[in-house]
Structure 1
Amino acid sequence: MELKTYKYKLELKNTFRISHTARDFQETLIVALSDGGFTGYGEAAATSYYGVDVESMSASIKAIEPLIAENIHKTPEELWEITNKHFKGNSFAQCALDIAMHDLYGKRNGKPLYELWGLELKDLPLSNYTIGIDTLEVMVQKIKEFPWPLYKIKLGTEEDVKIIRELRKHTDAIFRVDANCAWTADQTIEYAPIMKELGVEFLEQPLPAGDMEGMQKVYKESVLPVIADESCITEADVSKCAGYFHGVNVKLTKCGGLTPARRMIAEARKLGMKVMVGCMTESTVGISAIGQLLPLLDYVDMDGGLLIKNDIAEGVKVSDGKTHFPNRNGTGAKLIIFTEELKNE
């Protein structure tokens, strides 16, 4: 077995702003896990919001390299359980390893992951394209420059309703609104009917994650469905969101990879909730992993590769909102740009 980690600095096409941060670059970790002539690739993007950097993720994975080697021929789910105790508080690192292991497992077995899971590529949800917070003129210009059937609009300003009204003048596309915890319950309930009339499909995480009393009020009174993001991080959070949200947004990095994500999707279904999977600003390595889950989802946000100038991989791609799968096994990801391996010395 051979384990390598790489650090990349992804350059964004535009400054990406949400209610609590802005950035022009995204650092990301790539894990390459090789055994028996096959290499599986995994990814996790760094984020200051969750206190995660590439170096610490790489170090935590390299620290258990002997354990990984000892169990490399087990299933991805078995390896996840064996290594989980070593990743407490570091789900991003576990995600990168878990995706790499799944990719390796699929390649060994000669099939794409979705086939190994018994899924078919039919009735797949369209991916949205994200418009970050900016001046109204810039947000309009982004829509004009990138025609798309479905947009996620990042909000959290003093002029949120005005923004949606203006954007609606320039496209017939479906809107989804993500306030990233910036609203109050009363604001959400007030905005919802206006935004529904303007073609908004649902509201994502309008309130701060801890405001469950406010979310219960929103759940009962909002005319638009509400989807949990920051309120749904781990597997245990899914059941906590029932009765407060109409659905959950599962993110692989936050929960620890494909292994727990599939369990979260199953749990949400049992509870009668809608399911979305979202991305960070990731390369096609991470996006290809999300793509394997599409037949299980109601909604998906997998535009990460579209938001960067220097994509480092080939694989599952999104075009006109639709997802296109390569004729490759595992996740379908293939690294095409290599950088210096991280040594973690």
Structure 2
Amino acid sequence: MLQVRHYSFELAFEYPFTISKGTKTHQPTFVVALGLGNLTGFGEAPAINYYNVTVQGMIDALEAKRGVIERYALMDPQRFWHFLHHLLPGNEFLIAALDMAGWDLFAKMRKQPLYQLLGFKWQNVPLTDYTIGLGTAEEMVAKLKAHPWPLYKIKLGRVDDIDLLRALRQHTDAPFRVDANEGWTFDEAKALLPELAKLGVNMVEQPLKRSDNEAMKELKTLSPLPLFADESCVTEEDVKNCVEGFHGINIKLTKCGGITPALRMTQEARKLGLKVMMGSMNESTLGSAAIAHLMPILDEVDADGPLLLKEDIAEGLTYNNGQITVSNYTGLGVGFKGTKFEKK
């Protein structure tokens, strides 16, 4: 019989984290633990206000179904996800944490690191970027200088934010990724994309609103840069709808419901000729480890959550100049140390 525990945290950022949708100084996050005998699997889901997801909401939904979950016989993580999908409809963030914990526990039962359990070889793994949140030019340059990195993700929101990119370019030759978080209109994006290409940008995430499907199709035909869907690709059903407007998709484990659907989304994207990136929602080392174990099947990765946080609730990942290395312990290979920061 499974034993379910959960933990709540407010993890401080090293710097206030600003995107086009707002600023926060702490990342609220929810951790679930699934115990079986002397083994425990862990999963994490950060709470995101613009998706109306709160830690308390996840706790309430979990407690309402705790007894049913604890009676589940974990024999196959994919079946476990289908069980959760029907038990907790509409609670993808919570399902993601439970799915992650299920995979971690099952891989520990099989005495394998997760990537090996999934049949992957640790080769051709992409570099992770380091994210520079919005701020003044001076603030953003200071962050860049404090964190030398081979690849940066730059958050932009308004058209004149390109001046921030020009300021950053004076201090590094590293490639830039730009994430607009739905911040531009079609005309703005059309004008900005050639200028971004001149500044050494190698991809742009979600330039237009999720609802601007027809405009995205036209923008793709004009763009000198690869365009990746983020807000436009939340669940499995969204993948096929991204083909005409984007060159690739950015999968977020918490938004899609965990590792299980992310694997299917990757397979579907490959069939459709889309590139695949997996992105961070400011997860700690715990949630970032789940992303890291999937890197052998990704083209690009944004798993810098632990680098942005002042506090971490787990250990087991190594970051070295953009390269992430997993510990090769069983499961996710992380040690949970979150009680030190637990929100009471």
TM-score, normalized by length of structure 2? 0.97
**Cα distance between partner residues in 1 of 2:4 and 2:340:** 15
2: CA distance between counterparts of 1:256 and 1:339? 27
Is residue 272 of structure 2 the alignment partner of residue 271 of structure 1? yes
C-alpha displacement of 1:64: 2.1
Task: Decide whether aligned partners of structure 1 residues 341 and 143 sit closer, same or farther in structure 2, where only a CA change above 3 A counts.
Answer: closer
- Worse-matched range after superposition: 253-262 or 58-67: 58-67
Question: How big is each residue's C-alpha offset from its partner over 1:227-274, in whole Å with a ceiling of 9 and x where there is no partner?
Answer: 000000000000011111000000000000000000001100000000
CA contact (8 A) 2:9 2:343 kept: no
- Which residue does the alignment assign to 2:86? 85
Q: How many residues align?
A: 343
Name 2:203's counterpart in structure 1: 202
Q: Residues 319 and 73 from structure 1, CA distance in 2 versus in 1: closer, same or farther, beyond 3 angstroms?
A: same
Amino acid at match of 2:275: K
Query: What does residue 183 of structure 1 align with?
Result: 184
Give the superposition deviation at 1:327.
Answer: 3.0
Which residue is 1:35 aligned to? 36
Measured against aligned partners, the alpha-carbon deviations of 1:105-139 in whole angstroms (never above 9, x if no partner) come to 01000001110111011111000000000001111
Aligned residue number for residue 123 of structure 1 = 124
1:332 alignment partner in structure 2: 333
Q: Which moved more, 1:156-165 or 1:200-209?
A: 156-165
Spell out the pairing of 1:1-345 with structure 2 (5 A cutoff): 1-338=2-339
Contact in 2 for aligned 1:155/1:178 (Cα 8 Å): yes
Q: Work out the percentage of aligned pairs sharing the same amino acid.
A: 46
On the 8 A contact 2:313/2:341 being kept in 1, the answer is: no
For structure 2, which runs of at least 5 residues remain unmatched after alignment?
A: none
Point out where structure 1 has 5 or more consecutive residues left out of the alignment.
none
Counterpart code for 2:3: E
**Alignment partner of 1:125: what SS?**
coil
In the TM superposition, residue 326 of structure 1 has moved relative to its aligned partner by: 0.7
How far off its partner does 1:198 sit?
1.2
Give the Å deviation of 1:20: 1.3
Contact 1:316 1:333 survives alignment (8 Å): yes
Determine the C-alpha separation between the residues in 2 that align with 1:88 and 1:203.
32
Deviation, structure 1 residue 159: 1.8
Conservation of the 8 A alpha-carbon contact between 1:6 and 1:339: no
Please give the secondary structure, in 1, of the residue aligned with 2:112.
coil
> 1:317, CA displacement in angstroms?
3.2
Indicate conservation of the 8 Å contact 1:288/1:317, yes or no: no
Deviates more, 1:131-140 or 1:328-337: 328-337
TM normalised by structure 1 equals: 0.97
Task: State the shift of 1:59 in Å.
Answer: 2.0
**Is residue 7–residue 339 contact of structure 1 (8 Å, CA) maintained in 2?**
no
Q: CA deviation at 1:196?
A: 1.0
